[in-house]
Amino acid sequence: MHHKFAAQLFTLREACKKDFYGTLRKLSEMGWKSVQIDGLHGYPAVEIAAALQETGLSVAGMHVSLYRLNMELDAVLNEAKLFGTSYFYLNSLPTDMQNEPGYREVKRRLLEIASLVQDQGFYVGYHNHDFEFHTEINNRVALDYLLEPEKGQSLLPEIDTYWVKKAGRDPLTYISQYTGRKFPILHFKDMTNDDRQYFAELGTGSIDFAPILQWGEANGVEYYAVEQDYCPGDPFDSLAQSLEYLVKITNKNR
């Protein structure tokens, strides 16, 4: 299962800005087998692809902005081809769209894009935060609305454990509603065990990831993307601690 653990590069955004290729090499040396792309930071996609090939890192999907999906879709598809991934996800919804009209518009647009790219073997998905739980549409929270199939089409869920917990839901219970559905990537992020409810290294916080891993393995999850939005020290150290925890609980459950 070790090859399924992917470092989400938003965690290392500053390192990627300074030296994208060196960051990939360091992750490989640390024992990571996969990464999730979160922006190219001005580096050429073809050179990033070469660095990925050099390090042997696979790509667990891409996070892409709504602007790029709308205005630079051909470039996004080219990057996905270069990186060898079929999955790209809207990374976040602009603040001015975090309302009922905004959610309706973004679902319409993302499903439209999904229909455009499906014949090329690509899938479009949505990565959540907690704000999608703060608006109701048709008597359902906005996240449920966004991910509900419509006219035979649907977006890939990329559920983030931290943000589900932040919204007052149990991550395993929430994720379980997608049992039997295509769910290639799951976001692993822990929350501190205190009133701050802040980002934490996996295994140090309030979320039990062992049963979530079990659910993922039973439901075809291909990658577990580990992300920590803010780290108390060196982000590489935080990712190393999270990877060590995942390997430990995986070996324990064999």
Q: Is residue 203 packed enough to be buried (19+ CB in 10 Å), middle (13-18) or exposed (0-12)?
A: middle
103-116 pLDDT per residue, tens: 999 999 999 999 99
Q: What is the phi/psi pair of residue 224, to 5°?
A: -115, 105
pLDDT beyond 80 at 224: yes
How far is the C-alpha of 224 from the C-alpha of 87, rounded, in Å?
14
- Residues in CB range of 47: below 8 A, 6 or more apart: 21
Confidence of residue 254 (pLDDT cuts 50, 70, 90): low
Q: How far apart are CA 134 and CA 92, in angstroms?
A: 15
pLDDT at 1 > cutoff 90: no
pLDDT score recorded for residue 233? 97
Instruction: State how far the Cα of 242 lies from the Cα of 254, in Å rounded to an integer.
Output: 19
| All domains in the chain, ordered by first residue | 2-252 (3.20.20.150)
Q: What is the pLDDT of residues 193-222, one digit of tens each?
A: 999 999 999 999 999 999 999 999 999 999
Dihedral angle, C-alpha 156, 248, 190, 144, nearest 10 °: 20
* Pairwise CA distance, residues 208 & 189, whole Å: 11
What percent of the chain stands above pLDDT 70? 99
Say whether pLDDT at 15 is over 70: yes
Predicted TM-score (pTM) of this structure: 0.97
Indicate the pairing of strand 136-137 with strand 140-141. Answer: antiparallel
